[in-house]
Structure 1
């Protein structure tokens, strides 16, 4: 299968290359990001599996993808490859992320403050459809919020949350 760069979309190209490699290791791809931080470029591949990811999984994926990435050469500049778990406070980005965690407690950082001045919400993700989250806040208020109005949406460890009923 050819993985030519399509319209310069590095993330899509790497995702298509990485997904079958991850599947062969019993893993799935959670996210792929290609970012510039300071003067350096980073290709970050976030992997996941039932029961969680360990350092051995990250090492195995890194070793398995390194050669195919070099062969494909989808990135013009030098970069640092990082393979990691999305973590316990994983960021929800794609529709499948939101759908998988309906019922979970999330921390939503807003691009613009709400009418009451809050820039952050702690809430239960009640539903997700058509790029809109339905959230139930700590106060029991139900809010519909477009995903584009959030700068980030992250899972919150249930052990540190009090007062929010699912």
Structure 2
């Protein structure tokens, strides 16, 4: 396992008890390098949305635990935030929570000469995602062909 995945996995394990204690959901953890600086990011959410206070409480608790465990060799910046509006739907639980919502899907290979679709997430399983469009048409997309699926911006 690559260091990046190991760091993300260990951080997730530290976060899960905090999520339960503070009644928030862990959406994702990522360890990424941007402009020469490493960032350890935890994205959290809860019904009604996350507040700055929620982020601060989790950030302080996680920072203390990360100092105790000290398993990341590189210097990094810790960030705890909401996943935001156009967040990617990476895991099955993300898809489950987003059923009935409007989503944007970008494909690796075009279907019907198109690589981007916006529709209602109607169904999903381990191999496919089904979108529904206003004309009551449906499109079944192989998950292996999905480069990105995220909540659509609805202005």
| Structure 1 position 10, deviation (Å) | 1.5
Query: Within the alignment, does 1:36 sit opposite 2:33 as a pair?
Result: yes
Counterparts of 1:55-94 in structure 2 under 5 Å?
55-94=52-91
Q: TM-score, normalised by structure 1?
A: 0.83
Q: Is residue 121–residue 137 contact of structure 1 (8 Å, CA) maintained in 2?
A: no
Q: Distance in 2 between matches of 1:10 and 1:84?
A: 18
CA–CA distance in 2 between the matches of 1:146 and 1:40? 35
Aligned pairs for 1:14-29 (under 5 A) are 14-29=11-26
SS of 1:112's partner is: strand
**Structure 1 unaligned residues grouped into runs of 5+:** 1-5, 161-166
State how far apart, in whole Å, the 1-side matches of 2:133 and 2:48 are: 28
In 2: Cα distance, 1:157 partner to 1:39 partner:
30
Quote the offset at 1:41 in angstroms: 1.3
Q: What are the equivalent positions in structure 2 for 1:49-128 lying under 5 Å apart?
A: 49-116=46-113, 118-128=114-124
Shift of 1:152: 1.5
> Which sections of structure 2, spanning at least 5 residues, go unmatched?
none
CA distance in 2, matches of 1:97, 1:59: 23
User: Displacement, 1:34?
Assistant: 1.1
Q: Give the Cα separation in 2 of the matches to 1:51 and 1:62.
A: 20
1:164 aligned partner: none
Partner of 1:46: 43
* Cα distance in 2 between the residues matched to 1:106 and 1:78: 36
Deviation (angstroms), 1:141: 3.0
Distance in 2 of aligned mates of 1:146 and 1:126: 14
* CA-CA distance at 1:148 after TM superposition: 2.9
Q: CA RMSD in A?
A: 1.8
Q: 2:148 is matched with which residue?
A: 152
User: So what's the TM-score if we normalise by structure 2?
Assistant: 0.88
